[in-house]
Copies of this chain bind each other. A is one copy, B any other.
Amino acid sequence: MQTPLLAELIDALRVLPGVGQKTAQRMAFHLLQHDRQDGLVLAETLQRALRGIRHCTRCRNFAEETLCPICASSKRDASQICVVETPADVDAIESAGVYQGQYFVLMGHLSPIDGIGPDELGLDALAKRLAEGDVSELILALNPSVEGEATAWYIQNMAREHGVKVSRLAQGVPFGAELEYLDQQTLAQAFQARQQA
């Protein structure tokens, strides 16, 4: 017979992706039994993170200030913008260590069925940045999926309208793979051999 509060905790844990009833119960028991202090740290960190993390006004990546560390850095080449789907993709490319330009994080890809169009991906902001004339190359590093391809095609046309050169990661990224899980070597090679689109 679960106490009401325990039932509430199990229910609340199910907000986490991939966590069903049984897993949530196991998590709740574990925290109550072995890790109350760490559980309280998790609760407090969740509150600070969910309230404090916003999106960079320039590239849409997660940020704690108006600009993310990459957009705020004077060491990054503002004439190159690498367009990715998620913050995890930025991390993957950064750890490959071959790119010194800036990013634009779509936070998804075009998906009309889910109501995700150009506006939801912030493409108006990207268009504005291209119109400013400081960008000389747009590197498309989208996932090699049907939606990723459609999104790439859309952005490619947009860049051409602004006369900006577009390149894409070299073939070698296997079809169906997710960038976030690629090894550094593969990612580095794909970057260096990127081709004009």
Contact = CB atoms under 8 A, between A and B. Distances in A.
A107 B5 CA distance: 19
Interface in A24-49: 25-33, 35-36, 38-49
Contact of A1 (B8, B26, B27, B90): B90
A3 B16 CA distance: 21
A47 B40 contact: yes
A91 to B, nearest CB: 6
A50 B40 contact: yes
A33 B18 CA distance: 16
A80 interface: no
Contacts of A23: 18
A32 B22 CA distance: 24
Interface in A133-161: none
Interface of A: 1-6, 8-9, 12-13, 15-18, 23, 25-33, 35-36, 38-53, 61-64, 68-70, 86-88, 90-91, 94, 107
